[in-house]
Amino acid sequence: MPYTLPMARWQPNASERLALAALELFAERGYENTTVIDIAQRAGLTKSTFFRHFQDKREVLFGHDAMNRLLVEAIAAAPATATPLEAVAHAMDAVGREAFTPARREFSALRHAVIAASPELREREALKGLALTAAMTDALKRRGVPDLASCVAAELGALAMKIAYERWSDPAGGDDFSEVARRALGEVRAASTLC
Amino acid sequence: MPYTLPMARWQPNASERLALAALELFAERGYENTTVIDIAQRAGLTKSTFFRHFQDKREVLFGHDAMNRLLVEAIAAAPATATPLEAVAHAMDAVGREAFTPARREFSALRHAVIAASPELREREALKGLALTAAMTDALKRRGVPDLASCVAAELGALAMKIAYERWSDPAGGDDFSEVARRALGEVRAASTLC
DNA sequence: CAAGGTGATGGGACTTGGTGCCATCACCAT
DNA sequence: ATGGTGATGGCACCAAGTCCCATCACCTTG
């Protein structure tokens, strides 16, 4: 062979490899029985490199935070005439289109199960949930929605999203996240009038 | 002196002493600049004893979890004719009567400021918030409120409580937590109809 | 009164998460 | 060629958290 392809000095996608290795190991032996060194070894890397890519061990399952940007942009892009909850529904559509696609349903379900099995991971998820509703609240305020209404709409939207996520993760549930989420949002809205 | 009083083998209230020492040190130098050994030393104890009283370093500021019981019992004790949010208001009264009393306002404000200053403590607080709304949801379900309505009412109640707590902690705010909370709950209820 | 049980504490060894610093070495521009 | 760049490896170190055993005033029992 006249040519040898230039060998990349490092294998690509270090972060993704670490995240995948972590998910696999957590699913196999549980979060607490997996050390950071284990994760790094399975990804062909070291502890140092792990902490260069993730702030801490929990963050490896929550890394990118793309969801917040997605929601904020979709809420901002909703038609000016939309009510707060309609803007939230618009954001759910975007999530179904770009994040919770049918192809990622199985992956999401596994990730969800792993998180549910570990107190530490549930705690981190609770924090991410707060950040998510804070981001939605902010996005609604920027639409001119009054502060309190923004808080309430974001809270109801986050609740609907949690419910929708659980239904969508279930193999028996619907395939299209947007549909499931719009229905959940409608139910939440209806329930809120009964309080 | 003919008598020497029997010296108790251990100073009493070890948990409380640890919690107080921790709050003081966190306020003085910050959570991250305080080690568990520092806390134990100020309380006249050791690291071993600290971890015998608290699951981890964060828990020392969240210890007893009396709030959940208080809310659950008050919701259960609300008149059978009360709507879900009225039952929540009933619970707010109980909190103002037994937990957030005027005498503890300054203490609560300090604790709140310490938590707000540390990411790790905010994360634990997020988890406690989830547990709190879960407890309220459960208590409402036991009143016969439908599942979804229970979720929504608990979520709105938790939001109102958060808002009320912030206003009540502020020296410029009202003195009686119950009053502040009932007003916040009314505002949240009104805002929810605008979504 | 003696003997033994109890329970909160002290203390030290050990694992793991997480930080900091420096060395390495293919790639790249000059 | 030469030197800079940037992702990585490796090591020392600190603090959180676990385990296990020793201690010793108090209490019960014979």
Contact A159 B149 (CB under 8 A): no
CB–CB contact A122 B123 (8 Å) = no
Give CA A137 to chain center in angstroms: 17
Percent of chain A with pLDDT over 70: 96
What string of pLDDT tens digits covers the 195 residues of chain B?
A: 333 344 567 888 999 999 999 999 999 999 999 999 999 999 999 999 999 999 999 999 998 889 999 999 999 999 999 999 999 999 999 999 999 999 999 999 999 999 999 999 999 999 999 999 999 999 999 999 999 999 999 999 999 999 999 999 988 888 899 999 999 999 999 999 988
**CA dist list (Å): B170 to A10, A96, B108, B176, B180:** 54, 41, 10, 12, 11
Residue A148 and residue B83: Cβ atoms within 8 Å?
no
Per-residue model confidence (pLDDT) at position A175: 87
Distances (CA, A) of B110 to A80, A83, B99: 42, 39, 15
> Nucleotides on strand C with an atom closer than 7 A to protein CB?
7-12, 16-21, 25-27
State residue B12's pLDDT score. 85
Q: Mean pLDDT over all residues of chain A?
A: 94
Cα distances (angstroms) measured from residue A26 to each of A16, A56, A60, A116, B60: 15, 15, 11, 11, 28
pLDDT tens digit string along A22-76?
999 999 999 999 999 999 999 999 999 999 999 999 999 998 889 999 999 999 9
| Strand D lies under 7 A from the Cβ of residue B64 | no
Distance from CA of B36 to the nearest CA of A (A): 20
Spacing of A6 CA from D2 C1' in Å:
22
CA of B12, C1' of D23: distance in angstroms: 19
Task: Tell me the pLDDT tens digit for each residue of A95-130.
Answer: 999 999 999 999 999 999 999 999 999 999 999 999
d(CA B114, C1' D22) / Å: 38
Query: What's the confidence (pLDDT) of residue B79?
Result: 97
